[in-house]
Chain A
Amino acid sequence: MCASFFVIMEFFTISLLNSISYGLLLFMLSSGLTLIFSMMGVLNFAHASFYMLGAFFAFTIAKLIGFWPALILAPVLVGLIGAGFERYFLRKVHALGHVPELLITFGLAFLLLELVQLIWGRTSVDYRIPPELDGPLFTVYGTQFPIYKAFMMMMALLMLASVGWLIKRTRIGLVIQAALTHPETVEALGHNVPRVFMLVFGGGAALAGLAGVIGGNAFVTEPGMAAAVGPVIFVVVVVGGLGSLAGAFLASLLIGIVQTFSVGIDASLLSALASMNMVLTPDTFGYQVLSLKVSQIAPIMPFLFLVLILIFRPKGLMGKREG
């Protein structure tokens, strides 16, 4: 009895730590996306590609100089690319409407994937965790928790704090906040709103790049990483509410927890019914669905959330602005 309690506690604690680290990484990615959307009404399809770019840049820079310079240089590079894209490409189609905007960011995503494959190849690259961050941080009931995951969590929280401070406490942040809801007025007041847009887009891209630097070596750095994480961050942004940073934070943690814990739960509706002494046979209608274990449906949980939220609460959990 006591032993199984510890076993459950170990599973629960480790899974909680894992899900928070994953959720915070998702938040790093989705915060940029939701900021860009709330400012410019553009859903940046290429956001996950900036993540991928950050990881690959970090791989090359780390090989040449080291991880710590890469941590600073790679996001800056990605931010510059993002700002440049906004200035020279996105701005041109802004006037044409939402569909061309979405299409051009989609085109960018496509192009970035091909460029990455051209330069770094079509398979994964060996982007490693730096040796000073490699190893266990502490042990929980017998399972080690790696230093690097704690580092990931710390960086994400640091980033959230600094972005929050930037937006709420600096002048440029005030302008951004105002441009969020009333861009024409802000322009009328004399601020260079297009430049603010460029800044925000570049900043969002830099955030995604930073997430790539940090996440690329914990999860594999390969050209397919953008397509793997892209749909999940869209889910986070929509579930949290388009335009809400706090909502994105909540949704990221939620999705992280759900995805991590559900892998470990083998319960199904069938077993729940069995525990209530209702045993079903394979001939029962809907047996296939009832016998599905939670761990089996783990991959579709985020998208199920998305569809449910869009049906019942299209604004998202904490959304302010309707799409």
Chain B
Amino acid sequence: MKFSLKIVAACAVLLCQYSTFAQAQATAKVAKAPAETSGKLIKVAMIEGLSGPFGPVGQNQLKSYQFVADRLANTDKNPAGVKFEFVPFDSKSSPQEALVQLKAATDQGFRYITQGNGSAVAGALSDAVAKHNERNPGKEVIFLNYAAVDPALTNERCNFWHFRLDADTSMKMEALTSFMKDDPKVKNIYLINQNYSHGHQVVKYFKEGIARKRTDVKIVGEDLHPIGQVKDFSPYIAKIKASGADTVLTGNWGTDMTLLVKAMNDAGMKIALYVYYGGVSGTPTALAQGSDWNVSQIAISHSNFSGDEQALRNEFKKKFNDDYYTFQTYSAVAMLSQGMANAKSIDPVKVAAAMEDMTFKNYNGEVKMRKTDHQLQQPLFISKWTKATAKDPYSEENTGFNFANVKTIPAYVASTPTSCQMKRPS
């Protein structure tokens, strides 16, 4: 009896020691954080379309941001030990409304803003942030662009306060055309895109890339449709059919992608599809309603990460019954935190200076924020729409399918040159 009591007491002591040890480990992680940043609340204004045709995408990304920030808070991906709060500002996907929200955010004292859906909006915000910072010294704002892939934002329109976390179209197209070069089935291509800067750039960079790599590939048609307005793509499908194309390439996203796929399903069109955004809200469900799809996606992520990233996706799905597909939110949080830790400050001017030319640990390995143009240098992935297997069990939007990685393109291969002549603040 006395012996067992001793054993119990010893176990209790052991447990206490262990929990203190574990606690010390956890605090030890945060204890590495500099005093100037540790525990500070960083409010980020997310100026995004949260209503209207692209509302579901923006709302998913808002949840993604907050979720990933909370989840990474006590890990080594948060070396500054800060706490992030993402506050939504509905831009209704309009550049003008986004600028109004920017004014509201800066008036409320926000120093960090983020946006991604719509390169037109991103361009307007980038210019407006530069103007604001010039006219209001001491109230500078950093703009984290997480999804607008128009190359102009890191070339002719680059500015010191803008940081791009997604791979831009020059990088994506370079990788995609290299992949298509080796596919003999691609002969006649049809390009259908949204009629704004992103869609125009997809067409431009594709034509350039494919001309260099496969001179025998013919572009049998191209269409630029108004963004977010077309509800019935069947006239476009008829046009594609009439052109005799065997492949369709599109940079469409959100509702435009979903409805395009829906129209293709309705018409029974079996054609190879090369896409940017196959995993965005609504599209996997539309894809699953058809059969025998041959879809290849170029992106900075895919469906079958292992380890912590997969756990993150599963937890997100359980909490929100929605998919976490915007990995750029992960990059944003990790990069900001590392930048703040390096700068030992949460002041945007110092953080911006620290973030450029910075290497940090990300979900896809070590990545670098290029100093010349503030474009994140990272690996790209080509994935294919495949049935989920035991090895790759993730099910996008509970369809039983996912985007399985077929080719990884390392960062140094994916990298493209830039013409940016950045003016830095003195």
B56 contacts A10, C-beta separation under 8 Å: no
Q: Given the known A-B contacts A139-B268, A228-B231, are A15 and B238 also in contact in the complex, defined by CB atoms under 8 Å?
A: yes
Judge whether B55 and A123 touch: CB under 8 Å: yes
Chain B residues lying within 8 Å of A139, measured Cβ to Cβ, are 268
Contact A146 B266 (CB under 8 A): yes
State how many angstroms separate the Cβ of B275 from the closest Cβ of chain A: 20
Q: Are B241 and A143 in contact (CB under 8 A)?
A: yes
Q: Please, what's the 1-or-0 string for A208-246, where 1 marks a CB less than 8 Å from any CB in chain B?
A: 000000000011101011001000000000000000000
Known: A123-B59, A219-B232. 4 other contacts (CB 8 A): A124-B255, A143-B267, A218-B232, A295-B223
Smallest beta-carbon distance A13→chain B, Å: 9
* 28 sampled A-B residue pairs with Cβ under 8 A: A7-B242, A8-B242, A10-B241, A15-B235, A15-B238, A18-B232, A18-B234, A18-B235, A122-B55, A123-B56, A124-B255, A136-B268, A143-B237, A143-B238, A143-B267, A143-B268, A218-B232, A220-B231, A220-B255, A222-B53, A225-B231, A260-B235, A263-B235, A264-B235, A264-B239, A295-B223, A299-B226, A299-B229
The one of B51, B238, B267, B269 in contact with A123, judged by C-beta atoms closer than 8 angstroms, is B51
Choice from A11, A220, A225, A299 contacting B238 with Cβ under 8 Å:
A11
- B259 within 8 A of partner (CB): yes
Residues in A whose Cβ lies below 8 Å from that of B259: 220
Q: Chain B residues near A8 (CB, 8 Å)?
A: 242
Per the 8 Å Cβ criterion, residues 191-247 of B in contact with A are: 221, 223, 226, 229, 231-232, 234-239, 241-242, 244
Q: In whole angstroms, how far apart are the Cα atoms of A224 and B52 in the complex? A: 7
| Chain B CB within 10 A, most for which of A8, A14, A144, A225 | A14
Known A18-B234, A143-B268, A295-B223: A263·B241 in contact at CB below 8 Å: no
Cα distance A299–B232 when bound, in Å? Answer: 13
Q: How far is the CA of A295 from the CA of B59 in the complex (A)?
A: 33
Contacts of A266 in B (CB 8 A): 221
A264 CA to B221 CA, complexed, in Å: 11
Number of interface residues of A (CB under 8 A): 32
Q: Mark B360-385, 1 if CB is under 8 A from A, else 0.
A: 00000000000000000000000000
**A144 and B268 contact, Cβ closer than 8 Å, known pairs A11-B241, A263-B236:** yes
Contact between chains at A264 and B53 (CB < 8 Å) = no
Verify if B149 is at the interface (C-beta below 8 Å from A).
Answer: no
Q: Which residues of A contact B (CB under 8 A)?
A: 7-8, 10-11, 14-15, 18, 22, 117, 122-124, 136, 139, 142-144, 146, 218-220, 222, 224-225, 228, 260-261, 263-264, 266, 295, 299
Q: Using CB atoms and an 8 Å cutoff, list the residues of chain B in contact with chain A.
A: 50-53, 55-56, 59, 221, 223, 226, 229, 231-232, 234-239, 241-242, 244, 255, 259, 266-269
Q: How far is the CA of A76 from the CA of B244 in the complex (A)?
A: 46
| Chain A residues whose CB sits within 8 angstroms of the CB of B234 once the complex forms | 14, 18, 260
Bound-state CA distance A218–B266 (Å) is 11
Which 9 residue pairs spanning A and B have beta carbons closest together? A123-B55, A122-B51, A144-B268, A263-B235, A219-B231, A11-B242, A264-B239, A146-B266, A14-B238
Q: Which of B52, B235, B244, B268 has the most CB of A within 10 A?
A: B235
**Shortest Cβ distance from residue A187 to the other chain B in the assembled complex, whole angstroms:** 43
Asked if A123 and B239 make an inter-chain contact with CB atoms under 8 angstroms apart, the answer reads no
CB distance from A266 to the nearest CB of B (A): 8
> Nearest residue in B to A225 (C-beta to C-beta)?
B231
Which A residues are CB-close (under 8 A) to B53?
123-124, 220, 222, 224
CB distance from B39 to the nearest CB of A (A): 36
Q: Which residues of B contact A117 (CB under 8 A)?
A: 51
Closest residue of chain A to B285 (Cβ to Cβ) is A126
Measured in the bound complex, the distance between the Cα atoms of B268 and A225 in whole Å is 26
Whether B52 and A122, one on each chain, are in contact in the complex, defined by CB atoms closer than 8 angstroms, is: yes
Chain B's closest residue to A299 (CB) is B226
CB closest chain-A residue, reference B241: A143
Q: B345 to nearest A CB, angstroms?
A: 38
A-side contacts of B226, CB under 8 Å: 299
Q: What chain A residues lie within 8 Å of B237 (beta carbons)?
A: 143
Q: Provide the bound-state CA to CA distance between A53 and B239, in Å.
A: 33
Q: Which residues on the B side are within 8 Å of A225 (C-beta)?
A: 231
Q: What residues of B have a CB within 8 angstroms of the CB of A146 in the complex?
A: 266-267
Tell me whether A11 and B55 are in contact (CB under 8 A): no
Give chain B residues whose Cβ lies under 8 Å from the Cβ of A144: 266-268
Q: Which A residues are CB-close (under 8 A) to B56?
A: 123-124
* A222-B221 Cα distance, complex, nearest whole Å: 31
**Quick one: which of B229, B267, B269 contacts A228, CB cutoff 8 A?**
B229
Q: Which of chain A's residues have a CB closer than 8 A to the CB of B55? A: 122-124
Could you tell me the distance between the alpha carbons of A218 and B263 in the complex, rounded to whole angstroms?
10
Per the bound structure, the CA–CA distance linking A218 and B223 in Å amounts to: 22
B242 partner residues in chain A, CB cutoff 8 A: 7-8, 10-11, 264
Closest to B55 in A: A123
